[in-house]
Amino acid sequence: MARRSGGFKIRLIIGLLVAAFAVFQYYSNSSFNEITGEDQHVSLSPEQEIQLGLDGRDYMIQESGGLYQDQEVQQYVDQIGADIVQKSDASKTPYPYEFHVLADPNTVNAFAMPGGQIFITVGLLKRLQSKDQVAGVLGHEVGHVVARHSAQQMEKQKLTQGLVGAAGVVGGDVNSAQYAQMIGNMVNMSYGRADELQSDELGVRFMIQAGYDPSALIGVMEILAEASGGQSQPEFASTHPSPDNRIQKIKEAIDEYGNATSSGDY
């Protein structure tokens, strides 16, 4: 019994050291984001983010059926994307934004990679009903880049992995590590939902600054809800907030930034 107790104490000490190192490493990497006004735990430099996006760009294009072979459509998206970036606070960032229309006609999606690589499927683009709605989608994705969400998620995953390793050491078995991993995944999910809401807010901000109607983003949420067939996971177990929640937050952002514009703050 004494030997078993001694073994647990050793594992506990080692586990605490592993956890402490993971937490220290996470919190020691900090930088201030002038656009969002936040201190962020990110170790990647903007140059590294840009390179990550460039490294993954061709792979994502290939996985999505290639680029949509209609130059007029591509130029249309490029022009709206350039408006969003050049006429908003996004222009203050160092990222060389590029917008890509993917040929996938069945997937209704848009996403951003680190460093300014932004993608929209033709399956989503054909569902959008106005230039303002396209601006809403692109503004949201630019928001992910500006807020450095990918870089933040990478740091959180590193922290989670460190804490999972510490739990495995202390528990002395795989089950405790698996349980810790499940909890860690739930924590990272909540951050993912917060990221989506923040990108909606930034999208509204950039749309207003670029002269687009921000209420069009509400229509985008309705289109996405319709595309999902009205079926979704409960919000607490999903990486994306419910459409109703997002619409409410978008309305609040429109009021906030609309009033800021009228008062001359932007």
The residues assigned a catalytic role are 141
Strand 110-113 relative to strand 31-33: parallel, antiparallel, unpaired?
A: unpaired
From residue 203, alpha-carbon distances to 53, 61, 78, 95 in Å are 20, 24, 16, 17
Contacts 24+ apart (CB under 8 A), 73-78: 73/101, 73/122, 73/125, 74/101, 76/134, 77/101, 77/120, 77/125, 77/134, 77/138
Inter-residue contact 242 to 228 (CB < 8 Å):
no
